[in-house]
Structure 1
Amino acid sequence: MSDVWRRTPITVGGGVGRAAEHPGMRDPRYLARRRSLAAPARGHRVGDPSPQVLYTEEEQATWREVHRALAESQRAHACRAALDGREAAAIPADHIPQHAEIGARLRRLTGFDYTLAGGAVASRRFLCSMARGYFHAVQFIRHPAVPMYSPEPDVVHDVFGHGAHLALPEFAAIYRLVGEAAARLETEEALQIVTDIYWFTLEYGVVDEGGVPKAYGAALLSSYGELGRLGGCRLADLDVPGMLATPYEISGYQPVLFRARSLGHVADTLAGFLGRLDDGDAPELRRAAVAGRRAGRSRS
């Protein structure tokens, strides 16, 4: 998962809170378990196999509970492609899948595979690995006290969201497009532009289906709460300058989501913009984005 997630807010007990308020951030037993599952990622080389994890019955029960809730909510609020991807990935309902279990299927379908992460990954490593067909994924699962939302990506997010994406060629092509742009660009300003685009599309993107907004972004697909409030979100038409000027360091769910006409519309828009983006353009684009975000905050 990219280090952009360090800034992600959470919802606790129906109210808005920061990550530090989540039970998983204050439970010593849970934190020790999380650290033990994250430790093998230190020094892990992209593409090396992930270790097998012996999950506890409590962890398996959390997975089963979240799987039931998300499967139902996705039927109502996820786009057709996301549902097709979930079916193609064969995400199990009864147990937490190992990376190798899902990864083997992804390789056959799109050439993608998981590579191990222990938590936040530097954006350049995270994005550039996608150009090579690898997606950084963690192995720990969210705290059982708040199973429908997590302050950071967990195995639910990486399987239910990104696993469903990477089982379909249409999604996999967009991941590679974003990864190839990151690999080609050298400056941190240009990399931040690619990161912002990734955030508002592959994490929080929405498409119109029959005039109804449907989720395709992985963060939406793995969040029961955000799926349920999708119809009440402020939606803007897919627009790269608009995404770059929209803040997402917020205390609560995303206030603005960008809606595309189709996945093809997403792919074409990103290909057009990222294909032209170079390091020389990035400083001016970033200045415009920062000005736009400041203006947006002053109006809110």
Structure 2
Amino acid sequence: MNQPRVRTPVAVDGRLGPASRHPGMADPAYLARRRALGELARDHRVGDPAPTVTYSDAEHRMWGLVHRTLVRVQRRHACRAIADVIEAVDIPDDHVPQHAEVNSRLQRLTGFRFTLTGGLVDSRRLYGAMADGYFHGVQYLRHPAVPFYTPEPDALHDLVGHGTQLAAPRFAELYRVIGRAVHRVETAEAVSLIDRLFWFTVEYGVVRENGDLKAYGAALLSSYGEIECFRDAEIRPLDLRAMANTPYQINGYQPILYRAESLDHLTDTLGEFFDEMDDDTPVRLCHWPGTRD
């Protein structure tokens, strides 16, 4: 059941319909810009500097609008470990930052850096780079017609979602633990299991804090609409076996989220699991076709 990992869309609500009807899909100028920035990543090696992009005034304005809104809702709804690093990572809101600009701050805080990708990333490449302190990020932005919705991850999702998360030392270490796990496994089933657990924790995880639910997942941190209403989802206790056997929904708000009881609960549970994970783990944990005799 190994599928290419689909990086998380940031959805506003189901009324927007499928990605094929998004305004960007019918805008030749936008699609050409998207392709041109994606092409900059061709043959890019992990760790090489990203080329400098000249963004338009319109792109800078949209970045500022969305970034300021996301920071505001992060302060209200994100867990303390995330909220505490917003100032430290200091992602600018007056212009679209270059990767190098964000990297200089992240590297000082946790040793992480962004490395360039032009779009979707093969799971092994994505997680393997995390073990060495790199996370793949794009340089293109969403279509300006719908600034708070994108059918695919863009620079706002990567830099403001994952970038803020990676500024927090405990989350940065969790990325590294996952990266080390993918280097140990060889089977497609093991990588698919990492995909699912990454989705329900790093991308869409929530945690109980002072009696309230708070968000820590990067997809929630970068979605103005969903972070405001994630508590309306079906919230289940953190359960790796259940996560492993729950299909995830690519488009729209997630109907099911998994709750850790504390940050210690999250990092202890995931750290122990990924430190011990091997190619037999999916056979013991999953009910997918092909994972059991």
Q: Tell me the TM-score normalised to structure 1 length.
A: 0.91
Instruction: Kindly provide the amino acid, as one letter, of the partner of residue 255 in structure 1.
Output: P
Q: Call closer, same or farther: CA 1:72–1:3 in 2, change over 3 Å.
A: farther
Runs of 5+ unmatched residues, structure 1: 292-300
After superposition, give the CA deviation of every residue in 1:136-166 in whole Å (9 maximum; x if it has no partner). Answer: 0000111111111211111101111111111
Asked if structure 1 preserves the Cα contact closer than 8 Å seen for 2:85 and 2:164, the reply is: yes
- Between the aligned partners of 2:266 and 2:31, the Cα distance in structure 1 is 38
Partner of 1:199: 199
Partner of 2:62: 62
SS in 2 for 1:5: coil
Q: Call closer, same or farther: CA 1:8–1:97 in 2, change over 3 Å.
A: closer
Pairs aligned (count) = 288
Partner of 1:4: 5
Are 1:89 and 2:89 counterparts? yes
Runs of 5+ unmatched residues, structure 2: none
* C-alpha deviation, 1:283, in angstroms: 3.5
More helix by share: 1
Are 1:38 and 2:38 counterparts? yes
After superposition, give the CA deviation of every residue in 1:181-210 in whole Å (9 maximum; x if it has no partner). Answer: 111111110011111111111100101112
Are 1:141 and 2:141 counterparts? yes
Partner of 1:117: 117
Correspondences of 1:232-243 after superposition (within 5 Å): 232-243=232-243
RMSD: 1.9
Asked if structure 2 preserves the Cα contact closer than 8 Å seen for 1:16 and 1:251, the reply is: no
SS in 2 for 1:207: strand
Instruction: Kindly provide the amino acid, as one letter, of the partner of residue 53 in structure 2.
Output: V
Are 1:78 and 2:78 counterparts? yes
Q: Tell me the TM-score normalised to structure 2 length.
A: 0.93
* C-alpha deviation, 1:290, in angstroms: 6.2
* C-alpha deviation, 1:278, in angstroms: 1.3
* C-alpha deviation, 1:279, in angstroms: 0.7
After superposition, give the CA deviation of every residue in 1:40-72 in whole Å (9 maximum; x if it has no partner). Answer: 111000000001111001111110110122122
Asked if structure 2 preserves the Cα contact closer than 8 Å seen for 1:207 and 1:259, the reply is: yes
The 4+ residue runs of structure 1 with deviation greater than 6 A are none
Instruction: Kindly provide the amino acid, as one letter, of the partner of residue 241 in structure 1.
Output: R
Partner of 1:179: 179
After superposition, give the CA deviation of every residue in 1:82-109 in whole Å (9 maximum; x if it has no partner). Answer: 1122222111111111100000111111
SS in 2 for 1:15: helix
Partner of 1:296: none
The share of aligned pairs that are identical, in percent, is 53
Asked if structure 1 preserves the Cα contact closer than 8 Å seen for 2:160 and 2:222, the reply is: yes
- Between the aligned partners of 1:213 and 1:226, the Cα distance in structure 2 is 14
Instruction: Kindly provide the amino acid, as one letter, of the partner of residue 5 in structure 2.
Output: V
Instruction: Kindly provide the amino acid, as one letter, of the partner of residue 236 in structure 1.
Output: R
